[in-house]
Amino acid sequence: MSSAHQSLSKLPENLPNAGPYQFGIVVSEWNEEITGALLKGAIEALTLAGSKSELTVIKYVPGSFELTAGASLLLQNKNIDAIICLGCVIQGETRHFDFICDAVANGITQLSIQYNKPVIFGVLTPNTMQQAIDRAGGKYGNKGFEAGVTAIKMAHLFSA
């Protein structure tokens, strides 16, 4: 079912405690208004679930294309249990959007397989800035928050 008309930005009742895990977050500086809101949402989810903020490592990269390289750098830290990649690529008039989104999605998937650690795709791919705003704390919740919840679930799964 599409999440087009729903907000999933709340802690699920059965969410594991995030306290035992260390998280890394890689944030694109491009579309900073949106990615900053996504970061705020991710940190909120981790904190509400018991994560210790001093254990969360945050790195910034210039754009969404560089998220993969930033995540790879963080994955070299053996103490990090899950990485959250946050970015926003807004559809334009050229195929640039398709190339960037495809490269980032594939890169994140490959890193997760290569390092056997969860690397979470928290990259918005909207058609318009308004759609991005709606998903970065607007009427459809905060997809950064949802990425934080996903990171907790996956860190727990990988630790079992």
Does the active-site annotation cover 96?
yes
Catalytic residue among 96, 109, 114, 129: 96
Q: Is the pTM of this model over 0.95?
A: no
What are the mean pLDDT values of the chain's consecutive 10-residue runs (160 residues total)?
55 90 97 97 96 91 96 94 96 80 95 96 95 94 96 94
Domains in the chain (CATH in brackets) are 40-159 (3.40.50.960)
Using CB atoms within 10 Å of the CB of residue 123, give its burial: 0 to 12 exposed, 13 to 18 middle, 19+ buried: buried
Report the candidate in 56, 74, 44 with the shortest Cα–Cα distance to residue 146: 44
What torsion, rounded to 10 degrees, do the Cα atoms 58, 3, 48, 40 define?
40
